[in-house]
Structure 1
Amino acid sequence: MRAFNTKSGAFARYGEEPLELEAYWSCNGCGDCRFEHQAGIEEKLERIIGLKPDAVHVGVCVKHRTQDGQVVTCKTIEEICERLEAAGLTIVEGTH
């Protein structure tokens, strides 16, 4: 939230443009979090799409490094981002 409020990190891209936080959605952490295992995920997606935000920022916490050094993104987050992009929303990787 600090990066948003101070327009630092990935939010610096907005310069002097006024910002308004429309929604905040956090992950429950790694585990069995596929769409079919999360009640309400479809409703959350529809609410965000309905808000028609100018951008959806996705935190760096959804990425991790494998034992061989490869950086990978959570598959569920990838699916969520694909759905939001298909609805015409802009995805910005990074928050702070």
Structure 2
Amino acid sequence: MKRIVILRCLRSNNVCTGAACMRAFNTKSGAFARYGEEPLELEAYWSCNGCGDCHFKYQEGIEEKLERIIRLKPDAVHVGVCVKQRTQDGQVVTCKKIEEIC
């Protein structure tokens, strides 16, 4: 059995229900298709502490989150598509805070 963790962007909290990630996990579609028939267990569904004008005042809390995730000993950490941001010139880039966490 593979132990899976999903990381998402705090900014997405305004509009995201987590349904797309959960559907992909439960149906083993998208990034989860790689596991085939292997059983999966979702260990955590967590978010970063934000960036820019969207963040918790307690940024150090991310270290505690990371320690807790590491203690879970997941086989994989999947990162939601919500971590992608479109720049003013139309490029799609990964959030720098998420890159730091990863």
Comparing both structures, which one devotes a greater share of its residues to strand? Answer: 2
* 2:56 alignment partner, one of 17, 35, 38: 35
Structure 1 residues 40 and 30: alpha-carbon distance in aligned structure 2, compared to 1, 3 A threshold? closer
Q: Displacement, 1:56?
A: 0.1
Q: Displacement, 1:47?
A: 0.8
- Supply the distance in 1 between the matched residues of 2:91 and 2:101 (Cα, whole angstroms): 21
Assess if the C-alpha contact under 8 Å between 1:63 and 1:73 holds in 2. Answer: yes
- Supply the distance in 2 between the matched residues of 1:32 and 1:68 (Cα, whole angstroms): 21
Q: Displacement, 1:31?
A: 2.5
Structure 1 residues 45 and 56: alpha-carbon distance in aligned structure 2, compared to 1, 3 A threshold? same
Structure 1 residues 28 and 39: alpha-carbon distance in aligned structure 2, compared to 1, 3 A threshold? closer
Q: TM-score under structure 1 normalisation?
A: 0.72
Q: TM-score under structure 2 normalisation?
A: 0.68
Assess if the C-alpha contact under 8 Å between 2:49 and 2:55 holds in 1. Answer: no
- Supply the distance in 1 between the matched residues of 2:84 and 2:42 (Cα, whole angstroms): 23
After the TM superposition, which of the residue ranges 67-76 and 21-30 deviates more from structure 2?
21-30
Structure 1 residues 36 and 80: alpha-carbon distance in aligned structure 2, compared to 1, 3 A threshold? farther
**Structure 1 unaligned blocks of 5 or more:** 82-96
Matched residue SS, 1:72: strand
Structure 1 residues 2 and 9: alpha-carbon distance in aligned structure 2, compared to 1, 3 A threshold? same
Assess if the C-alpha contact under 8 Å between 1:33 and 1:76 holds in 2. Answer: no
Assess if the C-alpha contact under 8 Å between 2:24 and 2:32 holds in 1. Answer: yes
Q: Does 1:5 align with 2:26?
A: yes
The total of aligned residue pairs comes to 81
